[in-house]
């Protein structure tokens, strides 16, 4: 049985701090559209509230050489 940890802290309206075993991320946005930034990159999610329909695009940070 897997143990999961996830905590969401509302910093102020529209901005949350997300904590999990894998790391920390910050999300901002409105109902139906938000942007999440973590150590891997930026995730943009747009959806239609109440329908379960959404689209997500992940834009990873590029490694510098």
What pLDDT, in 10s, does the model give residues 11-58?
999 999 999 988 999 999 998 999 999 999 999 999 999 899 999 999
Per the structure, the complete domain to which residue 28 belongs is given by: 6-60
In a domain, 1, yes or no: no
In a domain, 43, yes or no: yes
C-alpha count within 13 angstroms, C-beta hemisphere, residue 23 = 8
pLDDT in tens, 20-30: 988 999 999 99
Quick one: CA torsion of 38, 39, 41, 46, rounded to 10 degrees?
Answer: -20
Number of domains into which the chain is organized: 1
In a domain, 20, yes or no: yes
């Amino acid at each position: 049985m897997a143990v999961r940890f996830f905590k969401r802290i509302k910093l102020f309206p529209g901005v949350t701090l997300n904590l999990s075993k894998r790391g920390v991320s910050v999300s901002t946005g409105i109902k139906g559209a938000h942007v999440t930034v973590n150590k891997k990159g930026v995730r943009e999610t747009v959806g239609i509230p109440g329908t379960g329909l959404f689209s997500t695009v992940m834009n990873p940070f590029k490694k510098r050489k």
